[in-house]
Amino acid sequence: MPEIQRLDVHHAPALLRFERENRAFFARSVPDRGDDYFTGFAARHADLLAEQAAGLIHFHVLLDDDGTVLGRFNLVDVADGGAELGFRVAERAARRGVATDGVRRVCALARDEYGLRRLVASAALDNAGSLGVLRRTGFTPVGDVVLNGRPGLRHVLDLLAP
């Protein structure tokens, strides 16, 4: 069974492989990270770990039994009991419930480990997969947004609701 882990320094090689192998797949639904992301990956990874240590973000990877990254689930802009959720899963794991399961797990961590009360997440209207994950995990649409020039929906999840 896949295991969710808080991002750590030892995840860097597997995470970079995940991003490289799925770059074209991700670019079909979200903006490409650009070449600089890959050439500066080591420094960026170290910076993210420093932000995480400061409590500003909480990054997670979902690992297959062999240590392969199946997905990443991130909580950013942590402040005032809330955070923004972002997630992506490998093409080989898509449409198998992996994203839904990962989001559920990270929502539980957000509430139980990080003391968060509310999450927000956005998805483009043409990203049916992410919209479905948000719906299945209890997020409620609250308004329109523009995501890199594309229309989208902003969602909210009250982590303390029964």
Predicted structure pTM score: 0.92
pLDDT digits (tens, 9 = 90+) for 117-153: 999 999 999 999 999 999 999 999 999 999 888 899 9
41-53 vs 12-21: helix axis angle to the nearest 10?
A: 120
Least confident of 18-32, 41-55, 85-99, 111-125: 18-32
Q: What pLDDT shows up at residue 47?
A: 95
**CB-neighbour burial class of residue 149 (10 A; exposed 0-12, middle 13-18, buried 19+):** exposed
Cα–Cα distance for residue pair 37/43, rounded to 1 Å: 10
C-alpha pair distances (Å), 60 with each of 28, 69, 93, 151, 153: 23, 10, 16, 27, 24
Reply yes or no on whether the pLDDT at 162 is more than 80.
no
CA–CA–CA angle 17, 146, 62 (5° rounding): 25
Residues facing residue 59 across a β-bridge: 74
Domains of the chain (ranges plus CATH)? 3-158 (3.40.630.30)
> What average pLDDT does the segment 89-118 reach?
95
